[in-house]
Chain A
């Protein structure tokens, strides 16, 4: 007890005049904040993670949660976070874990980019009156077409096209495994992507039988632990993704704690019940780029060359050159996951300090692939920190073909970004396997919310394109002329290949 108690992170206050003693807060809080005692709601604020489940269920708005009512003595270098981390590590001697994405105080490049609109010299297009095409094809495209002209109007297409995924909107949902999140959460998203004409990832957790009806909209993942992978799994997916790395924790593997491996998860992942599922840092059959090529080919061979294969990497310093290598591996798309990508759990030091922002990574990858004349070899999927339709639009302008969203889809199902996904206590029934908690998430209702979000972003994207005088997504992609940088330095503008505002 040398260090003793620290200031409360959250203070929960109950307005006893308002409280009607319905007990919903007690029932809903899985972290043990509330108890009913002597005819009164009592709290233990120290357990609170600010997931706001109690607030959302309180019929009388009787609950108030304040963040850090008593802070540490202010110091610009020795911030409260720094001091708390030291306290924790001095006590535990361990690596600090954190959920959700990067918490570092880095400027967000998306917020320093502004979009263009037409005035006078060309008309903006009204998507309500004119066609607006967002249909996107993910996969390899020929570099050139070979057409054979016969007599008259006879023409023969000699070039053979390979299978692409057809998306009705360039928004997909990224890989969050069954295990990390609940089956109900996966079900909700699967329904939503099926309805929206797009796709979602299974994550490295196999494909639960309940999701088979939606398999044509699911991208199955092969990661370093190979959990849940067999030929049945590969055959069911619309595409296959090889996960090399993840933006939230580049360079390291994954760890699903045994508590989350219930019977059902154990079957789907094909691992013993209650055992920790540990994915190694590298794939032990990929020690170099030529090994990746073999795995791509192996997966294609196993599925009779019918499915696109994606390769997902974390955005690291040399991302452009790595993507160029992937483009030559036979893969159909490269997924670039920026350093703001979310996660159920990651060492905080990785989450906050390793990798680069997605905006710079997409720009660098797109530029490099163009310079090498191999941009048509792969599609670029941007992920990690896509929060709104503006981010989506800007990502496409910088060169992405489509985006993966993750956290945004969870938020659409109620997630409050409390960052404690790894504790299996998610009060929203999303990042937990506890049956009573999972039951709180109605997949049909949540599907409507996720589908609404995709729909709303799609509408906004269409409006932004129309305002820019563009009626097809192809003409937005890589169109950095329609972006301007505001308060970005010259080096960053160079990397993004974007002019400054006014230029």
Chain B
């Protein structure tokens, strides 16, 4: 099960979190009240060029000191604070969510073409694998993930997502199987500017995980979704593939379809399948992935999970259910259902 929804405003017009809260809550049937989360792009305009690092702390003594030591080693914390939360009903602060606005020292990773990103990736992997009691769950610039155990509306109210404004939002309502009730297991998953919400189960996880780990990523969240964020980072950022070609690698056309293509297309698609066979994701899934200037939705190659697209003026919606899109935009102009594996891409134009 699980329910997903994402929206992008191509002109970067800001939306607060109240509408997506309603949309996600209407899909309560798809969850079990054990996990929900939101991600918004453009939420920290005052610190837009800094990395907003969100951490769950089990306590703010040992793990916090260690994380801060690590951050200070690799750069500078320009500002930090506890993420405001509001306990009510059964929502309790099981972890203490903290945020840092961090400037990596690019000189410390001089050999890299993307030193800042690589430093932050390294910090995320180090904290999540070797500092007990700390988990970095959001690490991009001018973006924030807000997630916890609970129903969509409970989690939204816990963080008061209506207080945040973004031009791109994604949200996820969880029916957990791999890890129950663990805050780190809720979606969205995030690495740098990539965020992922996912409905499904990746049957190729064992292959994908071993593949991505051979490029230096560590899977630490005990669930299959995080590999999607890492695969996006590897293919779209490090290997410079377009979002469309990245999706092509993750959910490629069947050989039979490739054989019917024009020679140049055939060559390209064969090259993608041969090179990125281990990145191909199998099993039932509908996924929405976001980065700063785009929202991408796609399903598995035989569409075993629902995915609906809504278009309305400058906004593109991607969701598990049409009802959720209509909750956000009752007069939505166009609703469509993409074919299996077909990428739906919304880009900001401004």
Q: Per-residue CB proximity of A442-479 to B under 8 Å, as 1/0?
A: 00000000000000000000000000111110111111
Which of B14-22, B147-155, B160-168, B264-272 lies at the interface? B264-272
Check if A147 sits within 8 Å of B206, measured CB to CB.
no
Check if B206 sits within 8 Å of A478, measured CB to CB.
yes
Looking at the assembled complex, report how far the CB atom of A351 sits from the nearest CB atom of chain B, in whole angstroms. 33
Check if B206 sits within 8 Å of A471, measured CB to CB.
no
Which of A24-32, A127-135, A196-204 lies at the interface? A127-135
B282 contact set on A, CB distance < 8 A:
469-472, 475
Interface size on A, residues (CB 8 A): 42
Q: Is A194's beta carbon under 8 Å from chain B?
A: no
Tell me the bound Cα distance from A3 to B282 in angstroms.
Answer: 65
Q: Is B63's beta carbon under 8 Å from chain A?
A: no
B254 contact set on A, CB distance < 8 A:
131, 133
Q: Per-residue CB proximity of B237-265 to A under 8 Å, as 1/0?
A: 01111100100000000111000000010
Tell me the bound Cα distance from A130 to B241 in angstroms.
Answer: 29
Tell me the bound Cα distance from A133 to B204 in angstroms.
Answer: 14
Q: Is A371's beta carbon under 8 Å from chain B?
A: yes
Check if A144 sits within 8 Å of B207, measured CB to CB.
no
Tell me the bound Cα distance from A479 to B206 in angstroms.
Answer: 4
A468 contact set on B, CB distance < 8 A:
203
For B204, give its contact among A137, A144, A370, A479 (CB under 8 Å).
A479
Tell me the bound Cα distance from A481 to B214 in angstroms.
Answer: 16
Tell me the bound Cα distance from A82 to B343 in angstroms.
Answer: 66
For A469, give its contact among B213, B255, B275, B284 (CB under 8 Å).
B284
Looking at the assembled complex, report how far the CB atom of A245 sits from the nearest CB atom of chain B, in whole angstroms. 27
For A149, give its contact among B210, B242, B280 (CB under 8 Å).
B242
A130 contact set on B, CB distance < 8 A:
302
State which residues 209-233 of B face A: CB under 8 Å: 209-211, 213-215
For A477, give its contact among B207, B240, B301, B302 (CB under 8 Å).
B207
A481 contact set on B, CB distance < 8 A:
205-206, 209
For A147, give its contact among B241, B255, B284, B304 (CB under 8 Å).
B241
Q: Is B181's beta carbon under 8 Å from chain A?
A: no
Tell me the bound Cα distance from A157 to B203 in angstroms.
Answer: 30
Q: Is B283's beta carbon under 8 Å from chain A?
A: yes
Check if B200 sits within 8 Å of A122, measured CB to CB.
yes
Q: Is B278's beta carbon under 8 Å from chain A?
A: yes
Check if B207 sits within 8 Å of A479, measured CB to CB.
yes
Using known A-B contacts A159-B275, A469-B282, determine if residue A125 contacts B302 with beta carbons closer than 8 Å: yes
Check if A470 sits within 8 Å of B283, measured CB to CB.
yes
State which residues 273-290 of B face A: CB under 8 Å: 273-278, 280-284
Using known A-B contacts A147-B245, A371-B214, A469-B282, determine if residue A474 contacts B277 with beta carbons closer than 8 Å: yes
Check if A145 sits within 8 Å of B214, measured CB to CB.
no
Tell me the bound Cα distance from A472 to B258 in angstroms.
Answer: 14
Q: Is A161's beta carbon under 8 Å from chain B?
A: yes
Tell me the bound Cα distance from A125 to B304 in angstroms.
Answer: 10
A74 contact set on B, CB distance < 8 A:
none
B273 contact set on A, CB distance < 8 A:
474
A155 contact set on B, CB distance < 8 A:
242, 245, 268
Looking at the assembled complex, report how far the CB atom of A314 sits from the nearest CB atom of chain B, in whole angstroms. 25
Interface size on B, residues (CB 8 A): 43
Tell me the bound Cα distance from A457 to B43 in angstroms.
Answer: 55
Q: Is B117's beta carbon under 8 Å from chain A?
A: no
Using known A-B contacts A122-B283, A475-B280, determine if residue A142 contacts B304 with beta carbons closer than 8 Å: no
If over half of A's interface residues share one DSSP class (helix, strand or loop), that class is named, otherwise mixed; here it is loop
Tell me the bound Cα distance from A477 to B255 in angstroms.
Answer: 17
State which residues 114-145 of A face B: CB under 8 Å: 118, 121-123, 125, 130-131, 133, 135, 137, 141-145
Looking at the assembled complex, report how far the CB atom of B246 sits from the nearest CB atom of chain A, in whole angstroms. 11
Q: Is A482's beta carbon under 8 Å from chain B?
A: yes
Tell me the bound Cα distance from A474 to B239 in angstroms.
Answer: 20
Output the nearest chain A residue to B272 by Cβ-Cβ distance.
A145
Q: Is B9's beta carbon under 8 Å from chain A?
A: no
Q: Is B201's beta carbon under 8 Å from chain A?
A: yes
Q: Per-residue CB proximity of B155-183 to A under 8 Å, as 1/0?
A: 00000000000000000000001000000
Tell me the bound Cα distance from A138 to B200 in angstroms.
Answer: 31
Q: Which of A123, A133, A135, A145 has the most CB of B within 10 A?
A: A145
Q: Is A191's beta carbon under 8 Å from chain B?
A: no
Using known A-B contacts A133-B254, A145-B239, determine if residue A118 contacts B271 with beta carbons closer than 8 Å: no
Q: Is A376's beta carbon under 8 Å from chain B?
A: yes
Using known A-B contacts A121-B177, A478-B206, determine if residue A144 contacts B284 with beta carbons closer than 8 Å: no
Tell me the bound Cα distance from A476 to B270 in angstroms.
Answer: 19
Using known A-B contacts A131-B254, A157-B267, A370-B214, determine if residue A145 contacts B275 with beta carbons closer than 8 Å: yes
Q: Is A177's beta carbon under 8 Å from chain B?
A: no
B242 contact set on A, CB distance < 8 A:
147, 149, 155
Looking at the assembled complex, report how far the CB atom of B113 sits from the nearest CB atom of chain A, in whole angstroms. 13
For A370, give its contact among B205, B210, B256 (CB under 8 Å).
B210
For A373, give its contact among B205, B215, B241 (CB under 8 Å).
B215
A sample of 20 inter-chain contacts (CB < 8 A) reads A118-B203, A131-B254, A141-B277, A142-B274, A145-B241, A145-B276, A147-B268, A155-B268, A161-B274, A469-B201, A471-B301, A472-B280, A472-B282, A474-B277, A474-B278, A475-B283, A477-B277, A478-B210, A480-B206, A482-B203
Chain B positions within 8 Å of A, measured between CB atoms, are 177, 200-201, 203-207, 209-211, 213-215, 238-242, 245, 254-256, 264, 267-268, 270-278, 280-284, 301-302, 304
Question: With A122-B304, A157-B267 given, can you name 10 additional A-B contacts, CB distance below 8 Å?
Answer: A123-B304, A141-B277, A143-B275, A144-B275, A370-B210, A370-B214, A371-B214, A475-B280, A478-B278, A480-B210
Chain A positions within 8 Å of B, measured between CB atoms, are 118, 121-123, 125, 130-131, 133, 135, 137, 141-147, 149, 155, 157, 159, 161, 164, 370-371, 373, 375-376, 468-472, 474-482
